[in-house]
Structure formats: C-alpha cells, structure tokens
Structure 1
Amino acid sequence: MKVTHLGHACLLVEYPDARILIDPGNFSDFSQVRDVDAILVTHQHPDHLDTHKLDDLLARNPKAVLRTDTGAAKMLQESGAEVTTNEAGQSFTIGSVTVTPIGQLHAEIHPYVPRIPNLGLLLAADGHSSLFHPGDALDGQPLDHVDVLAVPVSAPWGAVKETIAFVRRIGPQFVVPIHDATLSEPGRAMYLKHIGDFGLDGGVTVRDLRGEPATELNG
C-alpha cells in the first residue's frame, strides 16, 4: 500500500489493483490526480469535498465511482451528480480492497453549529496494511486492527488531549498526520511532537507525508 498526502485531509491510497482518493477538499491539491477507481468522501464540509472542483476531478477520472456519507450524497444528488451513499458498517469493495464506513456524526464544533453526518473509512486488503481515515470525528471504532491511522492534527472541533486519547485507543503501528492546513509550521511541529511522544506508551511512529511522493506504508 502506498499513500500520498495531497494536503489537509486528502489522501491518495494505492494498491496493485485499486487507486482510492479520499476527501478531495478545498485545502488540498488533487489537480494532477488521474486513473483513480474510487473517490470517497467522509462528509460534506468544503475542506473535505470541494464541489467546485468535483466536476473536473470526475472528468479526469471517468471510471471512478463516487461514494460519500449520507449528508454529502443528498447535497450532490440535488445538484444532479451520480453518487453512491455509504452506510455505517456496510462494507464494499474496490478491487481487492474492502472499505468499511465507520461512525455516525461529525465531532461537535460548538453548540451553535449543527452536527452533520460523518463516516470514517477503514481500508483493508490481504497482504497490505490497513488504514483508517476518520474524517472529522474521533469516536469511530474499527473492529479490526488498524496499522495506519490518519490523525486529524488540528481543527475547530479538536483538542490535542482528545487526539492523543484517540490514537491510544486505536493503537496503530503508524500515524499519518492530516487535517493540518490551518497551522503554522511551529504549531504543527508542536502537535506532531505531542502525538508522537504520547500517542502510545513509549511513543508512536509518525509518518509525516506532507510534500512527499507516494510512500509505502507496510508493516
């Protein structure tokens, strides 16, 4: 399994027979992405789904299936897009990859912003590391072991104590920082150090893929 961080919450995850793009939002650069088999969206917020660039993305990837949470699907269907709705716990396959949507709601930002649907995504394939992208919620609990955990580093709804508790509960082999576009460089480094030092007893390996080419993440 190879992973490319395309900025903020957007990951391109590649297997020998499947290329999967997750959360192409407006803080990310996916302008060169082609030949993907699936475009998966955890929720409808624009930093995870850039509707202004979606038509171009689909045109460059005519074979890609678009699958989203219920909230994003409803929004896209109203605009005439062809989209399949993901449901929590109902797995589907992209090539040899089993994708399991996990969760229910976006984390609370504050009481004045209504919560919306959010479905994290667990990707698993025989012979490859599993990867969990939680979207914007830290309460999802995959039933299987997670090798690679995509970890939101900073958000209006987040706190580093909650992030660390999330990592410790899941217990991955690696963490990949995501959801970091609002941070300064010193601030981002501070968050990554906290996650690396305290994410597990004795620390957890942080694989910072920002600005890096496709990187193999197999244990």
Structure 2
Amino acid sequence: MRITKHEHAALTLEKQGRKLIIDPGVFTASLEPLDNIVGVVITHEHPDHWTGDHLDRILMANPGIPIVAPQGLANAAPGYPITVVSPGDSIDIDSFHLEFFGGEHAVIHESIPVIDNVGVLVDDGFYYPGDSYSVPKGAAVEVLAAPVGAPWLKIGDAMDFVLAVKPRRVFGTHDMTLSVAGRDMGLSRLRWAVEQNGGEFIALEPGDSTEL
C-alpha cells in the first residue's frame, strides 16, 4: 500500500490502483486525479479535515462511494451519505480494512466543546489518529502519521503519543499552522521519539509517499 501525504492532514492510500482518501480539508490543495477513489474517511468535523467542495468533486468523479465518519460529521454535513462509525467498529472498503479508535477530539480549551473524533487503523499496519492522541491498543503499527502542530497540541504530548504507539516508522502531519522553523523543530522531536523504540522517521513533503 502506498501512503501519500498531502497538505496539512490529508492522505491518500493506494493499492492496485484503488484509492482511499483521508481528511481532505480547507488547507489541502486539489487531490487530482480523482479517478479510482473507493471511499473517503473523515476523522471529525473541523474544516481543516473536510470541505463540501472536496467531497462534491470526489463524489462527482466517483458516485456512490462511502464517506465514513463519526456522528459529529454526519450532523455537520447534512445531505451527504455518511456511514457513521464509532470506536471499536471495523469495516471494509474495497480491499482496505479499517478499524476505528478513540472517540473524542483532543481538548483545545475548556471553553470549547469536545467533539467526536475517530482514529483509523488501515490494514492492521497504518494508523492516523485524527486530532487526538488515541493509541490503537493491541495493534502493531508499521507506519504512523503523527500530528505535529495544532491549537490543541503540545509537542511533548505528541512525543509521548509516538512513544506509546511504538511504530516502526513515523512521519509528521497536521502541520499547515506552523512556520517552517516550527514544523522542523517539531519533526525533530518526533524523530527522537520514534528512535527510542528502534523506529525510523520519514521526512515527507506534500506529494511524497512511503510504502506499507
């Protein structure tokens, strides 16, 4: 499976020419070509993780595909055919096997309501937590997409998250709110964290890929 990083939090997973899109949000550029997309996973309702414009273009090119998300996104996106998932659920989309973890977005501030968020484990090897530090308990994670910058994120917590997951490889995501210097500093901390358990850091820019 090929894992491609896009701007901010968006990812494309591809197997045998079939593609699964994760979190195409407002900071994400066009994901063309939009052919052979078999499904979309949205971890939560914040606009940096989904937009109607992205979904409309994806659905126009791939009518009838499932959009998988927690209940909060279904409430925020009426009119879209959302398949609601919760922590503990597992589903198959084409040849992709998905399992869901967590349940809640990380706390931004006590004045801001906590919303639904699901982390997604794909094919028992790739994990992306959305906006959370939810650990996929019992999973042997080969590749982890770890958030590096956000209003809710403290880099020490992100480091602890990588230490807890113990992936073989990690790359940074959720990074468009950072300066280049801030992003690079955060990524260096994630590199340290993954190396503590003998893992490897992968430096990916938008458009770059790694294999599972």
Q: Which category of TM-score, normalised to the shorter sequence, fits these structures?
A: over 0.9
Report Cα offsets for 1:26-67 as digits up to 9, x if no partner: 011234141210100000000001124321221122242111
- Aligned position for 1:123: 122
Q: Distance in 2 between matches of 1:33 and 1:17?
A: 12
Q: Distance in 2 between matches of 1:84 and 1:50?
A: 17
The 5 Å alignment of 1:97-136 reads: 97-124=96-123, 130-136=125-131
Q: Distance in 2 between matches of 1:189 and 1:96?
A: 35
Q: Distance in 2 between matches of 1:167 and 1:108?
A: 18
Residue 202 of structure 1: how far off its partner (Å): 6.4
Tell me if 1:50 matches 2:51.
Answer: yes
Residue 182 of structure 1: how far off its partner (Å): 0.8
Gaps of 5+ in 1: none
8 Å CA contact retained: 2:102, 2:135: yes
Greater percentage in strand = 2
TM-score normalised to structure 1 length: 0.90
Q: Distance in 2 between matches of 1:211 and 1:186?
A: 17
- Report the AA paired with residue 188 of structure 1: R
Q: Distance in 2 between matches of 1:164 and 1:208?
A: 16
8 Å CA contact retained: 1:18, 1:94: no
Residue 171 of structure 1: how far off its partner (Å): 0.3
Residue 135 of structure 1: how far off its partner (Å): 0.2
Residue 143 of structure 1: how far off its partner (Å): 2.2
SS at match of 1:163: helix
SS at match of 1:164: helix
Tell me if 1:190 matches 2:190.
Answer: no
- Report the AA paired with residue 142 of structure 2: D
8 Å CA contact retained: 1:196, 1:203: no
Report Cα offsets for 1:154-196 as digits up to 9, x if no partner: 1110111101100010000111210000111111111111110
Q: Distance in 1 between matches of 2:193 and 2:204?
A: 20
Q: Distance in 2 between matches of 1:67 and 1:55?
A: 15
Identity %, equivalent residues: 32
- Aligned position for 1:40: 41
- Aligned position for 1:66: 67
Change (3 A) 1:118 1:91: same
Change (3 A) 1:60 1:181: same
C-alpha root-mean-square deviation of aligned residues, in Å?
1.7
- Report the AA paired with residue 138 of structure 2: L
8 Å CA contact retained: 2:170, 2:194: no
8 Å CA contact retained: 1:152, 1:179: yes
Tell me if 1:217 matches 2:188.
Answer: no
SS at match of 2:13: strand
- Aligned position for 1:147: 142
Change (3 A) 1:159 1:203: farther
8 Å CA contact retained: 2:167, 2:194: no
- Aligned position for 1:163: 158
8 Å CA contact retained: 1:131, 1:148: yes
Change (3 A) 1:202 1:67: closer
Residue 23 of structure 1: how far off its partner (Å): 0.3
Change (3 A) 1:32 1:91: same
